[in-house]
């Protein structure tokens, strides 16, 4: 048997939303698989271990505030979480890192997602900083059909490098744009200032990225944004917590006013599930020490609840 890629969740709730633990990915049998990826690719030694690495645990710990019990009716999704169906949702634990070789995290993350996809399960990814979609999306290169990336963020994330690091949290969309299996890119909620300069904006526009600022979103509404996204696609959703309005997710390093509301994000998730096929989703960059009444982690759980419920209702797991 090959070496393990993940380790069980740390403490408290042993899994995300009461799911079954399944840290042996070689024998994985699941419809939905949760995977924590705590560590990204640091820009400095100070960032090797940052508070965002605690986010997968914090999100799991919010499970009983987001979903009180599996059998209870949930008005966000129109039924109980698993819709009274034999859906197998598992928690694969957190990707193992090695302090002596920081690239281990990305290599293990890519390998773990490949095993989840091989098992036919839908990956739900708990970050970690926003570098982690890079190894996650690499794992989709042998899947059927191109991927449309749908990105919620305050920031553009198109830097080619920072401090010589090309796969850090300022570069995920730039790196993903270079992947042959990714086609269209929609970036929603962009606002204020991040690491992007004019050259990064120019690079994104030259690629053909669809940049939808938060202000355009608020003016036209999420229904109009959904209409711009081609139907029948295979969608991967990446949500940076700072893309949400700080009233929804205050636990971020760079809060930016005027962000995506919970209602808008929920509508986007349901809309994508029903106009094509969502093939994965991550939520990244929650900084638990900065949270208020755990609302950021609870909101993260609730966004995943909406994806889970919507995909079950849409018949994703029927055989």
Percentage of the residues of the chain whose pLDDT score is greater than 90:
86
User: Is 319 inside a domain boundary?
Assistant: no
pLDDT value at 45 more than 50 = yes
Mean pLDDT, the chain, rounded, equals 95
Number of domains comprising the chain: 1
Q: Which residue has the higher pLDDT, 31 or 104?
A: 31
pLDDT value at 305 more than 80 = yes
Q: Which residue has the higher pLDDT, 100 or 6?
A: 6
Q: What is the mean pLDDT of residues 78-92?
A: 97
CA distance 238 to 80: 25
pLDDT value at 1 more than 50 = no
The DSSP secondary structure of 43-103, one letter per residue, reads SSGGGSS-GGGGHHHHHHHTHHHH-S-TTS-BTTTTB-TTTTS---EEEEEEE--BTTBTT
User: Is 241 inside a domain boundary?
Assistant: yes
* Positions at the binding site for Mn(2+): 130, 153, 155, 157, 240, 242
Q: Which CATH number goes with the domain that contains 142? A: 3.40.800.10
User: Is 103 inside a domain boundary?
Assistant: yes
pLDDT of residue 283: 98
Q: What is the pLDDT of residues 70-80, one digit of tens each?
A: 999 999 999 99
Q: Give the predicted TM-score (pTM) of the model.
A: 0.95
Under DSSP, the state recorded for 248 is T
Q: Which domain holds residue 52?
A: 6-314
User: Is 1 inside a domain boundary?
Assistant: no
- Residue 2 — pLDDT band, cuts 50, 70, 90? low
pLDDT value at 149 more than 50 = yes
Percentage of the residues of the chain whose pLDDT score is greater than 70:
99
Q: What is the pLDDT of residues 179-209, one digit of tens each?
A: 999 999 999 999 999 999 999 999 999 999 9
pLDDT of residue 280: 98
Q: What is the pLDDT of residues 231-244, one digit of tens each?
A: 999 999 999 999 99
* Positions at the binding site: 130, 153, 155, 157, 240, 242
> Residues near 13 by Cβ (< 8 Å), separated by ≥ 6?
60, 61, 63, 64
Coil, strand, or helix at residue 242? helix
User: Is 205 inside a domain boundary?
Assistant: yes
User: Is 276 inside a domain boundary?
Assistant: yes
């Amino acid at each position: 048997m090959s070496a393990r890629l993940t380790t069980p969740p740390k403490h408290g709730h042993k899994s995300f939303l009461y799911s079954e633990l399944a840290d042996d990915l070689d024998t994985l049998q699941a419809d939905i698989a949760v995977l924590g990826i705590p560590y990204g690719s640091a820009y400095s030694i100070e960032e090797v271990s940052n508070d965002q690495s605690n986010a997968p645990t914090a999100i799991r710990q919010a499970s009983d505030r987001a979903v009180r019990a599996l059998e209870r009716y949930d008005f966000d999704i129109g039924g109980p979480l698993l819709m009274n169906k034999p859906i197998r949702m598992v928690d694969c634990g957190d990707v193992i890192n090695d302090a002596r070789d920081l690239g281990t995290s990305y290599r293990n993350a890519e390998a773990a997602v490949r095993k989840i996809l091989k098992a036919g399960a839908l990956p739900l990814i708990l970050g970690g900083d926003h570098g982690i979609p890079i190894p996650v999306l690499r794992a989709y290169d042998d899947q059927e059909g191109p991927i449309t990336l749908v990105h919620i963020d305050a920031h553009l994330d198109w830097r080619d490098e920072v401090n010589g690091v090309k796969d850090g949290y300022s570069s995920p969309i730039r790196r993903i744009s270079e992947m042959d299996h990714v086609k269209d890119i929609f970036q929603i909620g962009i606002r204020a200032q991040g690491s992007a300069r004019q050259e990064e904006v120019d690079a994104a526009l030259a690629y053909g990225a669809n940049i939808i600022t938060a202000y355009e979103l608020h003016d036209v509404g999420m229904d109009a944004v959904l209409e711009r996204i081609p139907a029948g696609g295979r969608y991967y959703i990446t949500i940076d917590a700072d893309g949400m309005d700080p009233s929804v997710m205050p636990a971020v390093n760079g809060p930016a006013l005027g962000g995506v509301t919970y209602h808008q994000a929920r509508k986007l998730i349901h809309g994508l599930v029903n106009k094509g096929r969502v093939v994965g989703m991550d939520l990244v960059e929650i900084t638990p020490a900065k949270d208020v009444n755990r609302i950021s982690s609870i909101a993260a759980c609730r966004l995943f609840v909406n994806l889970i419920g919507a995909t079950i209702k849409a018949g994703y797991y029927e055989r």
